[in-house]
Amino acid sequence: MSRIRGYDTKPELIVRSLIHRMGFRFRVHQDRLPGDPDIVLAKHKRVIFVHGCFWHGHKKCPRSKRPTTNKEFWRSKLDKNMERDSRQQNELNNIGWKYLIIWQCEVNTPDRLQKKIRRFLGTR
């Protein structure tokens, strides 16, 4: 697991490139906010998380299928990830920030992804 990247993953780079092409400027990985969001649009008080379907438990996604070996380890690990995500999202809401979660599988459809981001940022 030491080879699993936490920052600058391929899906994250694709999303950042798309947002930049849309004309938005942002910061990455601001550790002063709960959850260390992948993309921070401070002007809009919005953050974007780019989640891996497996690591963050994307429901109804084939990529989020849990391993059949060492089941207890994976159940515990992945459930803790989802609990932490929920806690951090609540903290962001409490301090007045809006958040958007973009799943790894959504990166494959750039048109739909762009519409989702535009809706979130309130632009046309």
Q: Each residue of 100-114: pLDDT tens digit?
A: 999 999 999 999 999
Report the distance separating Cα 97 and Cα 124, nearest Å: 21
Confidence of residue 1 (pLDDT cuts 50, 70, 90): low
Residue ranges of domains in the chain? 10-121
The residue count for the chain? 124
| DSSP 3-state of 124 | coil
pTM: 0.91
Task: Give the chain's count of helices (H) and strands (E).
Answer: 4, 4
Mean pLDDT calculated for residue range 9-22: 94
Q: The tokens of 72 are what?
A: 């207890």
The fraction of the chain above a pLDDT of 70, given in percent, is 94
CATH number of 10-121: 3.40.960.10
Strand order in the sheet with 46-51: 27-28, 39-41, 46-51, 98-103
| DSSP 3-state of 103 | strand
